Amino acid sequence: MTFASTAVLLGSALALAQGASAQSSAPATTFTIRVENISKGKAFKLSNRGSAPFVSAPVLWVTSTGGSNPIFSGGKPDAGLGLEQLAETGNPARLAKSLGGKNGNVQVGAYASPAGAASDGPLTPGQHYEFEITARPGEKLSLAWMFGQSNDLFYSNDRPIELFTAAGKPAGGDMTAQLSLWDAGTEVNEEPGLGPNQGPRQKMPDAGVAERQGIAHVRDRYTYPQLADVLRLTVTPGGQAVSRAGGR
């Protein structure tokens, strides 16, 4: 599995953020985003009588002003902007760069450093990512990251996550229920945790059998852990931000 080696706000996204700042008089609010791997031990019981741990890849995040998830379009094949790389290798870098110049996106970033870890990498059981973003009323949050023990599955929200109430007050809390497990439709699925062409075991990127299907909630013959049993997403609003810099 190839993971992003950095977790920074992209330059193109920063330009968008500065433009948005000039147009809005509302102060920016800082939000702490926490993604936790709350699984324990080896969550997968395999058909060969073995077991495997649940692993979560680095996180891509976007703040935007539109009403739909800006990262992908459900029901349509992958647009070739980098979602395939995120879903198959865990690396969000190409998709983050592509989304930085997309209309309606205010900030784009990626985070890959588990809390307390000496280097970037995936979340193993008990680990978490925690990072800050900033947003103004009208801006919403979307995220995506690879389900590590898969060929091309990823977690993301169905619709953008509201960061503010209708009255413009910062909102937060446990947002796990807004996430779903998605199939990028770019590679044929194998048994999770066992398939030889999945991130942790494949010898090279694109080692699996390619396909071109519409992006959809995962539906196949395999069994996957309940999302709330392995992941927790928490958004916590803080004070007013001095600048628009996000990421690490």
What are the tens digits of pLDDT across the range 25-64?
A: 688 999 999 999 999 999 899 999 999 999 999 999 999 9
Banded pLDDT at 145 (limits 50, 70, 90): very high
Banded pLDDT at 198 (limits 50, 70, 90): confident
How many CB atoms neighbour CB 248 within 10 A? 17
The full set of domain ranges for the chain reads 11-240
Secondary structure class of 85 (helix, strand, coil): helix
Say which residues have a Cβ less than 8 Å from residue 42's Cβ, sequence separation at least 6. Answer: 51, 52, 53
Chain center to CA of 207: 23
pLDDT (mean) for 184-211: 87
Closest listed residue to residue 123, CA positions, set 231, 237, 238: 231
Banded pLDDT at 206 (limits 50, 70, 90): confident
Specify the higher pLDDT residue, 24 or 132.
132
Q: Does domain 11-240 correspond to CATH entry 2.60.120.260?
A: no
Specify the higher pLDDT residue, 23 or 163.
163
Cβ atoms 95, 211 nearer than 8 A: no
Specify the higher pLDDT residue, 199 or 159.
159
Banded pLDDT at 19 (limits 50, 70, 90): very low
Average pLDDT taken over every residue of the chain? 87
pLDDT (mean) for 156-171: 96
pLDDT (mean) for 74-92: 96
Secondary structure element (H or E) that encloses residue 18, with its range: helix 11-23
pLDDT for residue 118 is more than 90 = yes
Specify the higher pLDDT residue, 14 or 77.
77
